[in-house]
Chains A and B, each alone.
Chain A
Amino acid sequence: MRSIDVHAHVTPQCYWRATEGGGEWHGMRREQDARGREVMISGSSRGQLPPRASWTPEQRLADMDSLGVDVQVLSPYAGFYNYELPTATAKATSVDCNDEINQMTTTWPDRFASLGTLPMQDPAAAIAELERIMVQLKFKGAMIDDKINGKMLDEPEYLPFWKAAEQLGALILFHQGGDTVVSPRIKKYHLPNSIGNLADRTLTFASLVFGGVMDACPDLKICFSHGGGYTCYGIGRIDRGWQGIPEANRLNPNPPSTYLRRFYYDSIVYTEEALRFLIDQVGVDRVVFGSDWPYDMAQDWPVSWIMEMESITQEEKDAILWKNLEGLLGI
């Protein structure tokens, strides 16, 4: 049995080195808060970096061994999306992140695979970087946010990006960065994350389906982090909304629920009941193992968490822990 983790982040060593002693990395800095915790600073935004974020690849591998994770599909820290910065800066940080991830994967090809980050504020630049990492660096795809400076991904300007991703066979992993849809209402209790991430994923599912992206790109490969959020649970009401649209005005020939199986979903749902529900709704061949390494919202002991479940069969566990990703990504 193997385990392949589709949701594991990298805060690249080049950032840690450049920001040591108050230095800058493409204008981004780092400082320690009153309790000695590392904080990433980019313009007015601040992101707390957990202790493991600074670990070297060797330290990461030791932790993976402890957790029972054979392969991490690496993706950059979402704090480095940099969509709000000038395109040139986002291009430069994307290239730096992607090159370092590539170095990790080429050094330890049995332990790592690669997802990149892209300057999504400029679709042409995003396509160019996606081509570079897919064709030259043999990446498996890229991770992007649910919204690009307030825009959803069903905007017509992103259709060429989706076409390129489809043609390149890239897996696109959706993962929030910064504020979520909940942030304007309430910032307390970690709700922008604990509810907002799940809401953002649901909005992304709906915008890609209703916006016609999934119809326009039948071979597109998309994975939703955090189990796709509330999508599988709330799909009944989303279907009801579709039924309420007069037939002549419907863009999709079939209800949204029929698109559930067009996507992949990571397993980060925290309870066995929720994972069982997700499997029953989308099919076990669509659920893939994820951990959210190295953040505090990561699943604790993610491999054994799945292994000990009584309501999931061994065949289902194998599919989730490695077989689905082995087939999807060729690793």
Chain B
Amino acid sequence: MTGMVALYIFMLAAFTGYEVIARVPVILHTPLMSGSNFVHGIVLVGAMVALGGAQTPLEKAIGFVGVLLAAGNAVGGYVVTERMLEMFKASGTRRAGKGPH
């Protein structure tokens, strides 16, 4: 990947992030922050690669902590976002599928 291509990817991704969020209603701010928090959990793949290439004990130790933290970010972010969004229901759908709780 050349530097210029990388820069273009960076620029386009930045605009994409802005556009995707631009019209979000306030009621979804917290879940969306949580959802974007989950998305940067992709750092897990980077942490895996970093630990996969670590050689000295120090690098391995830091890499281990990195993978552990990244997995926490991804899994924790997913669980809490899913829990929050699961509860958003309109009155119509709620009546139709009223659960036992």
Binding between chains A and B = no
Which residues on A are within 8 Å of B, measured CB to CB? none
Which residues on B are within 8 Å of A, measured CB to CB? none
